[in-house]
Structure 1
Amino acid sequence: MNSSTELSASADDEIYKCLDLKSPKSFFLFAGAGSGKTRTLVTILNKFRTEKGKELCLNGQKIAVITYTNAASDEIKRRLEFDSTFIVSTIHSFSWELIRPFQHDIREWIRKNTKTELKKLEEEQRRGRAGTKAFREREEQIKFKRNRLKNLDNISRFTYNPNGINNGKEALNHAEVIKITADFLSLFPLMQKILISSYPILLIDESQDTKKELIEAFFKIQENFPDKFSLGLFGDTMQRIYTDGKIDLGDNLPKDWAKPAIITNYRCPKRVITLINKIRSDVEEHEQKPVDNAEDGVVRLFIVDSNNIPDKDLIEKNISSLMAEYTSDSLWESLNSNVKILTLEHHMAARRGGFFEFFEPLYSQDKLKTGLLDGNLSGISFLTQQILPLVEAMRANNEFAVAKIMREYSELLDEENLKESETPIEQIKKTGESVDSLLKLWDSGQEPSLLEVLQLVGELNIFPIPENLIPVTYYSPDEDLGDDEEEPQDKDEIIDAWRAALKCPFNQLEFYTDYISDKSAFGTHQGVKGLEFPRVMVVIDDEEARGFMFSYEKLFGAKDLSDTDIRNINEGKESGIDRTRRLFYVTCSRAEKSLAIVAYTKNPEAVKNHVLSEEWFSEDEVIDMNLFLSE
């Protein structure tokens, strides 16, 4: 057994000892980039199944495993041979299965929450000016919420699909399911007892990005039942991407928790591991080691003076050619599927990928960011899973696909509506005419706006419009409100963001969907988490990104820290530097063979001096691209 295998086996043994049904122990496993968390998880669970699975089954219990994505869930299920000893699911699926039996309590939670939201809207409406845009938008929201309260007692059963659309008066959305679950687990002792009696062991992968309110609820249950419940967290705070995770996860854990660590990186070559260790060394002591037979690898930093940039596409193509030379790897020669381009800020991918006008307004709203990036934002799934597939099927003249989508989502072909209709054939004919009318928006090679498509879908009653998009459908992009506009504080910034986004051409929705599905030339933060690529190009450009939450110029020493940065650092609070460092770590740690970092900067000399002084790169690894551009 080599040294890296011994280290992993040690962590496996420590974790396995925690999964004792008679004397459970909770733990936080540090598992850095490329550490093989899934291998560790599957190894431990297979051993548990062999040695203790029978005892668990006799007690009518299971082990719950919460994963970050459906893909991860499917992979773990497969490797566990779909054994019913384990319940493997995403956090949304797991949450719904917990609360689904408590329909009355769900109803009362919605009643209380809707009343609170309605009261706030009505108060804002009293302060607003009648006839203005914001007033009309709130009027629609108030109407919707009043109707929801009115119909609440008529709903026999609430529904929720963690992987699809949640429309209709009985449907819950993703955010509601998480909030309800967190509240139920925190407030109801019965729910806590149900959890631990069903799942005495709960393991959470990518725990650093699990919703803060849920993680805190699980901590509370573990504190209340330490002798009956083992909570196992797998994660790496350096790889926390979303702002709604628990910031200090892993810090100040109870003294009786185990704190195993996997320090082997099975993915990256030696040179990349040295770099990512340096990146995190200023904030954490964790240091990874390569496997014994790891390749050396190649890393280069290309510095580009952003004060005078000609053509960025041309620059990056030149860099790929240089990487082919430095690595003796001809697959670097052109920027295609052989090279994964990772942007540290989504604006950059949006601009390059052709969906900036759709993406930018929504991304500018903090409340919408996470849902926009994972595709679960209310309204986004409606556009990407109903409208876009329908349009694609229509344009491909795929009548079977059109019919399937309409049967699944459209009220026009709802089974009850067809039964109540005196002439079902006429109803079906009407549906076909509605679809044909929608397709006419693309006549003569035109590209309609998303808003035009949405409005016509609503007018033709093709699909029910989600609550948050209803106010937008009452607005025309040509409408001139002039002096009718209310004061800025009376605006609804979320609705304004949606309105701006939906003005874009429809094809931007297609480009955005490819991006979040990881089908474009660029990688999303969510898309690349856990993934690996032989050749990686990381592009850094503060000016293009226009982000206020991140600053690569500061991280690379080209710009001084602000007073706020310094104060946050001194007070132990999260700063923009912390967020930027984490994103830089995640992207660099995707590389299996070679890594190119392209840094556009206003101060090339400062960047070079800083990275050399920090010992992130050696002198021969830092390339001044302006020398090539001046030739």
Structure 2
Amino acid sequence: MNVSIFKTIQDGSNFIFEAGPGSGKTTTLIRTLHQILKAPDNIIDPTSQKIACITFTNVAANEIKERLGGDLDAVHVSTIHSFLWKHISSFQNELRRALYTFNDRLGPSNKRYIPNLNLDERDIEYVDHYADLSKGEISHDDVLELAFHMIEEYSTLRHLIKCQYPILLLDEYQDTQDIVIETLSQLIKADSQTAFGKTDFRVGLFGDSMQSIYDSGAGYVDPQRLDAVTITKEDNYRSTPNIVRLINEVRAKSKEATHVEQQVQRTDLPQRSICSLFYTTNDIALKLRSLDAIASHFDWSLGEDTKILELTHSAISRTANWNNLQKAYTYRGRDGFDRLRMGDDTYSSTFLFMSRLYKAWASHNGSDTLRILRFESPGYIRDRNIVTSTEDMVHWTSILNEYVRRCNSSNIEESSISAILNFVFDEDVQLCRRIDRIARFESYYDLDDSKRIENRRKFLAALTETHFSELLHFYDYLDQATPFSTQHGTKGAEYDNVILVIDDSTWKNRYSFSTVFGASDRIEDRVQRTLNLFYVSISRARNNLIVVYKNPTTVSIAGAKELFGEDNVRPLEEVLPDIATF
């Protein structure tokens, strides 16, 4: 393990462990825990104390538990929310008082505000659905705010936490809300000498401020806030030298990140490694067949070892051939597409059924087809008995063959999503039924707003112009059966080959990739936000990295040459001279 971490803990100091991508941060955390537990000078009393190891997500907590193995008795591993709720939930009277104050801070202008809130005799509960304050229910974010104010106000609560957990380690600190950092600061700065006796308490943060890509995250934490020392780790066990050099160059551009100059530690380096940027003004360059041609040019394939990263789901829809479907959902409201993506749209169950049924029958998988028809047909009872004779088998074979033929047809009047919906709903076909939710939606009966009626008409009209194949491409994407991912969606992952597509027109108010390459921007937050996301994206690559930049300025091209090297920045047309014919 990192000796300086253990010495810092022995000395009773707080620390921030800052390490870049591919450095083995979680491994270092696990080794730190093991070392503390076998420490000869008994840093903790195992009969009454534990080390607290808190994380941002359940996935991360479960990974740490698995890797700790038999040492779990002496380590409390949980999410931040679970840890804080565990301690404040037993202080119900104080919680009620804190919730009254919380409600007052909300004020009448907030829709969650409850006039004349009365929590007498109510137990305060932490729920994962919409929290109704009048019932004493609090949400995910409420836990953090209430815990902060209670720990700030009640010395007994502070003392109990510090006595039980003299060492608290926080993983991926940059993703943690800033109020959590403030809560830790309250624990650190509180008197160690209390009426109950002396308490020693140390905090260690593990993470990388440059990998802060979520709005809710604290990002860079000034060590002075926690009276902490900074410890860095320069190893990179993931990427090739040219990619690591780029990672270091990008990090050096940050005005706030802790300086970490990574060193390559890989011993299995490939004979050839690409780290290049190609620029273009051609829209065809952002089509799947063009990206496939780029991969083929460098002897890759778009399989499991290659990932194509784009900024948004909308950008991916244009590349991955479900753009008309995405556009249709712009008429379903601000969160319309997200509801479809999460499986909560009016048509979700029917669209998913249609997609699965097509894939099963088109791939000649009779048993899967039968299972889908029996158990997944919307509007029918589960386990409907559809095949009882040879005649039934002939009947369903004919219907399913016609279904696949229509889905594959180049005639949009037969193969649009709308046309396929009408086919599967047909009473003579009986593949599925028009569920009540869809029937109400298509009848407009629940609307009296002309704008919403018009948007609903436009949505239904768009389905008549969208080929069924777009549904297949969309569900392939959701099932991770394509090489595509959003840049935010790959944090923590790694791939042999990465193609990163950047386009400043995609999300202009949030990101400006031209600033990575030297362009100015009066909005400092956007500059750092973009730099962090670019840093995270390029550092997913193990062996090869290609950035495809659409419509860069001359300033950006010059800046890219400084970052990547003169010979590694070229027009895409030099690699794909026939791109215009794709």
TM-score clears 0.5 = yes
Pick the structure with more helix per residue.
1
Gaps of 5+ in 1: 1-8, 122-140, 325-331, 406-440, 448-452, 460-471, 484-495, 566-573
8 Å Cα contact 2:294-2:576 kept in structure 1 = no
* 1:242 and 2:243 correspond: no
Q: 1:211 aligns with which of 177, 180, 189?
A: 177
How far is 1:610 from its partner? 2.0
| Match status 1:445 vs 2:428 | no
Counterpart CA distance in 1 for 2:460 and 2:86 is 35
Q: Which amino acid aligns with 2:204?
A: G
Number of the residue aligned with 1:232? 204
Deviation for aligned residue 1:532: 1.1
Paired letter, 1:176: D
Say which of 548, 551, 556 aligns to 1:607.
Answer: 556
Paired with 1:513 and 1:182, the residues of 2 have a C-alpha distance of 42
* Residue ranges of structure 2 left out of the alignment (5+ in a row): 193-198, 357-370, 383-419, 427-433
Give me the whole-angstrom Cα distance separating, in 2, the residues matched to 1:361 and 1:253. 47
Query: Is it true that 1:340 corresponds to 2:328 in the alignment?
Result: no
Identify the residue that residue 293 of structure 1 maps to in structure 2. Answer: 267
| Cα RMSD (Å) | 5.0
Deviation, structure 1 residue 26: 0.4
Query: Within 5 Å, which residues of 2 pair with 1:94-493?
Result: 94-114=83-103, 116-117=105-106, 119-121=108-110, 149=117, 152-153=119-120, 155-156=122-123, 158-161=125-128, 165=129, 171-225=137-191, 228-250=200-222, 252=224, 257-283=228-254, 285-291=259-265, 293=267, 295=269, 298-306=273-281, 309=284, 312-324=287-299, 332-333=300-301, 335-349=302-316, 352=319, 354=322, 356=326, 383=344, 397-398=374-375, 444-445=423-424, 456=437, 479-481=448-450
Output one character per residue of 1:309-358: Cα deviation in whole Å (capped at 9) or x when no partner.
4762232122111221xxxxxxx23x233311122445423655657469
Match of 2:540 in 1: 590
Separation (CA, whole Å) in 2 of partners of 1:358 and 1:24: 59
Please give the alpha-carbon distance, in whole angstroms, between the structure 2 residues aligned to 1:382 and 1:118: 34
Residue 206 of structure 1: how far off its partner (Å) = 0.9
Aligned to 1:40: 28
Q: Equivalents in 1 of 2:309, 2:504: separation in Å?
A: 14
> Aligned partners of 1:42, 1:480: CA distance in 2, in Å?
57
In structure 1, C-alpha distance between the alignment counterparts of 2:130 and 2:472, rounded to whole Å: 21
> SS at the partner of 2:206?
strand
- What is the TM-score when the length of structure 2 is the normalising length? 0.70
AA partner of residue 318 (structure 1):
A
CA distance in 1, matches of 2:482, 2:446: 29
| 1:542 is the counterpart of 2:492 | no
Distance 1:209 1:308, change over 3 A: closer
SS at the partner of 1:80? Answer: helix
- Is 1:71 the counterpart of 2:59 in the alignment? yes
- Structure 2 counterpart of 1:626: 573
Q: Percent identity?
A: 27
Pick 1 or 2: higher relative contact order, CA cutoff 8 A, min separation 6.
1
Residue deviations 1:157-213 (CA, integer Å, cap 9, x gap) = 52435xxx5678565322222222233223332322222112111111110110011
What's 1:491 paired with?
none
Distance 1:53 1:216 in 2: 30
Shift of 1:554: 3.1
Aligned to 1:56: 44
Q: Distance in 1 between matches of 2:461 and 2:201?
A: 51
Contact 1:345–1:547 at 8 Å: present in 2 too? no
Measured in 1, the distance between the counterparts of 2:109 and 2:30 equals: 48
> Using the alignment, how far apart are the partners of 2:329 and 2:69 within structure 1?
40
Corresponding position: 1:15 with 2:34: no
Q: How many residues align?
A: 495
CA separation in 2, counterparts of 1:245 and 1:502?
Answer: 39
Give the equivalent residue in structure 1 for 2:364: none
Q: Is the 8 A contact 2:44 2:166 kept in 1?
A: no
Q: Which residues in structure 2 correspond to 1:78-93 (within 5 Å)?
A: 78-82=66-70, 83-93=72-82
**1:502-521 alignment runs, 5 A limit:** 521=483
1:454 and 1:90 mapped to 2: Cα distance?
39
Structure 1 pair 541–114 and aligned structure 2 pair: CA distance change class (3 A): same
Question: What CA distance in whole angstroms lies between the structure 1 residues aligned with 2:97 and 2:471?
Answer: 37
Q: Which residue of structure 2 aligns with residue 132 of structure 1?
A: none
Q: Secondary structure at the match of 2:244?
A: helix
Cα distance in 2 between the residues matched to 1:154 and 1:160: 18
Q: Secondary structure at the match of 2:18?
A: strand
TM, length-normalised to structure 1: 0.65
- Kept in 2: contact 1:344–1:587 (CA 8 A): no
**Is contact 1:554–1:561 with CA below 8 Å preserved after alignment?**
yes
What is the distance in 2 between the residues matched to 1:242 and 1:503?
36
